[in-house]
Structure 1
Amino acid sequence: MSDKIYFNTSKKFNLRRSLVNVGTRVHHKIAPKHARKIARQLLLTPVRSKPKNPEPKGLVKGVVKSAHGDLTTYTLGSGPLWVLNHGWSGTANQFFPLMEFMAQSGFTALAYDQPAHGTSGGAYGHIPAFVQGLEAILDSVDEVDGIIAHSMGTASTVECKHQKAVDCPLLLIAPVLEYLENLFGSVKRSGYSMKLFEEVVEEVSSEYHYPIHTIDPYGKLKLRAHATVIVHDEGDRFTSFDVSKRAAGEMEKVTLVSTKGLGHGRIMKSDQVKQNFVELARR
């Protein structure tokens, strides 16, 4: 259900959206505590996507402990290590074609399922969980040469303050750089009660000591000293290409590679991503 909220980009009138708005506002007014409980389950529970790509030969599975449960890891190749961080309702499986290419190019690719995603533990997904999931992965390895991230994984990567994340180049695929605008805009378009949503956000922020107003991937990207390459499709319906274009124009360390016809998902295994990974990794 959460996918239908976060990935709904239509601005046209919709009867279902109007009914959702009325229903959630009434529920919140009559039974606020129960409404918040249901809202948390609805808004913070990602879809556990089924694997679409076959496992590459030689793939090694593992487990890393985190504050949100056991995280399933997938490692392939040998050589300098790059970590791969998927997006909302995604899985490490989406990276398998890219990981195979990376291994063939002389690198180690380490992908993992974020909390509440894939086969990892955890009940809820949100920025604090994504950031802490990445931190747990970074703690489990000695050195990291770079990080590749997709969609919401890009926001959590740029937000991450772990030294290994700060001191490496980034390859961001279809990034969410204006995270709060994207999040609140998506929920508003769904028709869901914004007052109820804001209360859930405040609960999560307080629980994990992660104030919502501090989330600013765009601003934090400006402060990075290492190179960042963004690969983004001009027709992406879920994350803004124009924001990526603006970032590349304003930030000296950021380079934008644009694509056409690949959308938000297919771009992950595109030739443009593979080629720019090699160029970035060998700088």
Structure 2
Amino acid sequence: MNCPSLSLVKSALIEFPSSISLITNSAKSSRTKRVVPWKFRVLGYTLNLISLVNNNWAAAQLNKIWFTVYKRRPKPWVKKFWNQADRRIEINLSDQSIPVYCWGRGPLVVLMHGWSGSGTQFKHFIPALTKAGYRVAVFDAPAHGTNPGKHSHLLDFTDSLVAIQQQIGPIDTVIAHSFGAMAVTLATRRGLMLNRMVLIAPNLDVQEIFDSYTQLLKLRPKLVQKFKTLISIEFKKILQIDHSWGLFTTINLLEDKYQSGLLVFDSADEEVSQKHFNEIETHWSNSSVIKTQGLGHVRLLKDQDVIGQIISYLKL
């Protein structure tokens, strides 16, 4: 089916890069209101109309967007940043290799970015961690940052962490942001061994993410149902297990609630609900918690006080 809305799909993706990690309507009272770009609203309206004629095609476009990585053109400083690393190591994944950049000496701390993010978002962590006596490994997940490709999925993140453990060495701590938190918690179920993990603004519930996505687009129930079916099929192929959708909940991903760790979140987070943060805090019985105000979802990664508190936790 040929349809002019395909260009609209691409345009909306550019306008709204964080579409995979929005917030549910039910949580509006507990997060900062987010302005929805008009192209994204039009996208939902257009796909709803198309679904009246061809529901399968409309759902397929949504499924494609779900696994599409939004990448900005790298700024000039990015190449310089990576070139400043003490060492560059290529790690081999099942179908590709990606570079991992290392600084410093000591226990290994891996920094894991979120969906459509980049390891460069952790640039403020590196000098503080190396000064504190840690070896730091930073990378862009497959199809992210400067790596080739347009599409990715959770196992690309998870397999990267396991590969670092196997090919670089034992990992003391993973510090993960947003979607990266889902990756590290899943990785602990797939062979990743950690002393502790630090989850910054995490979302560990795929149903909340999906509901946020579909509610924002105001999709027809029939289209939502087909869209979820297609994603479930992809999950089954990727994970090679039945009922994989149910795996992505706080209780299942934090299966070992006694895993030592630190939860960091902000009261003004515009992408993840306070209700979800509270759910993680309640279930994760062996976690310490840092709560901030006014930093939102991303500025946590730049705040020197937050970075200092995280390092103080690691030194305990």
Normalising by the smaller structure, the TM-score range is: 0.7 to 0.9
Deviation at 1:126, TM superposition (A): 2.4
Q: What is the rounded CA distance, in whole Å, between the counterparts of 2:18 and 2:128 in structure 1?
A: 32
Give the residue type in structure 2 aligned to 1:240: S
Deviation at 1:240, TM superposition (A): 2.2
Query: Could you tell me which residue of structure 1 aligns to residue 6 of structure 2?
Result: none
- After superposing the two structures, state which structure 1 stretch, 33-42 or 187-196, moved more: 33-42
Query: Could you tell me which residue of structure 2 aligns to residue 205 of structure 1?
Result: 235
Instruction: Work out whether 1:109 is the aligned partner of 2:132.
Output: no
Question: 5 Å matches for 1:49-64?
Answer: 49=72, 50-51=74-75, 55=81, 57-64=84-91
Q: Choose from 259, 263, 277 the match for 1:226.
A: 259
Q: TM-score scaled to structure 2, two decimals?
A: 0.77
C-alpha contact (below 8 Å) 1:169/1:280 kept by paired residues = no
Query: Could you tell me which residue of structure 1 aligns to residue 225 of structure 2?
Result: 195
Alignment CA distance shift 1:79-1:243 (3 Å): same
Instruction: Work out whether 1:157 is the aligned partner of 2:184.
Output: yes
| Identical-residue share of aligned pairs (%) | 20
Deviation at 1:194, TM superposition (A): 1.4
Instruction: Work out whether 1:78 is the aligned partner of 2:105.
Output: yes
Q: Choose from 111, 119, 129 the match for 2:146.
A: 119
Alignment CA distance shift 1:187-1:63 (3 Å): farther
Q: Choose from 162, 167, 190 the match for 1:140.
A: 167
1:155-198 deviation per Cα after TM superposition (whole angstroms, max 9, x unaligned) = 11111123334x32011111113332123322331234413421
Alignment CA distance shift 1:200-1:223 (3 Å): same
Q: What is the rounded CA distance, in whole Å, between the counterparts of 1:58 and 1:97 in structure 2?
A: 14
Query: Could you tell me which residue of structure 1 aligns to residue 10 of structure 2?
Result: none
- After superposing the two structures, state which structure 1 stretch, 120-129 or 255-264, moved more: 120-129
- After superposing the two structures, state which structure 1 stretch, 18-27 or 57-66, moved more: 18-27
Q: What is the rounded CA distance, in whole Å, between the counterparts of 2:148 and 2:36 in structure 1?
A: 38
Q: What is the rounded CA distance, in whole Å, between the counterparts of 2:247 and 2:120 in structure 1?
A: 31
Query: Could you tell me which residue of structure 1 aligns to residue 274 of structure 2?
Result: 241
Deviation at 1:18, TM superposition (A): 6.2
Q: What is the rounded CA distance, in whole Å, between the counterparts of 1:203 and 1:5 in structure 2?
A: 20
Deviation at 1:16, TM superposition (A): 5.9
Tell me, what secondary structure is at the counterpart of 1:164?
coil
Q: Choose from 98, 105, 109 the match for 2:125.
A: 98
Deviation at 1:73, TM superposition (A): 1.6
Instruction: Work out whether 1:184 is the aligned partner of 2:215.
Output: no
Query: Could you tell me which residue of structure 2 aligns to residue 6 of structure 1?
Result: 20
Give the residue type in structure 2 aligned to 1:204: E
**C-alpha root-mean-square deviation of aligned residues, in Å?**
2.9
Alignment CA distance shift 1:180-1:79 (3 Å): same
Deviation at 1:129, TM superposition (A): 2.7
Q: Which has the higher contact order (CA 8 A, sep 6+)?
A: 2
C-alpha contact (below 8 Å) 1:232/1:257 kept by paired residues = yes
Deviation at 1:263, TM superposition (A): 1.0
C-alpha contact (below 8 Å) 2:142/2:149 kept by paired residues = yes
Q: Which runs of 5+ in 2 are unaligned?
A: 1-12, 26-34
Query: Could you tell me which residue of structure 1 aligns to residue 9 of structure 2?
Result: none
Give the residue type in structure 2 aligned to 1:106: G
Deviation at 1:14, TM superposition (A): 9.2
Q: TM-score scaled to structure 1, two decimals?
A: 0.85
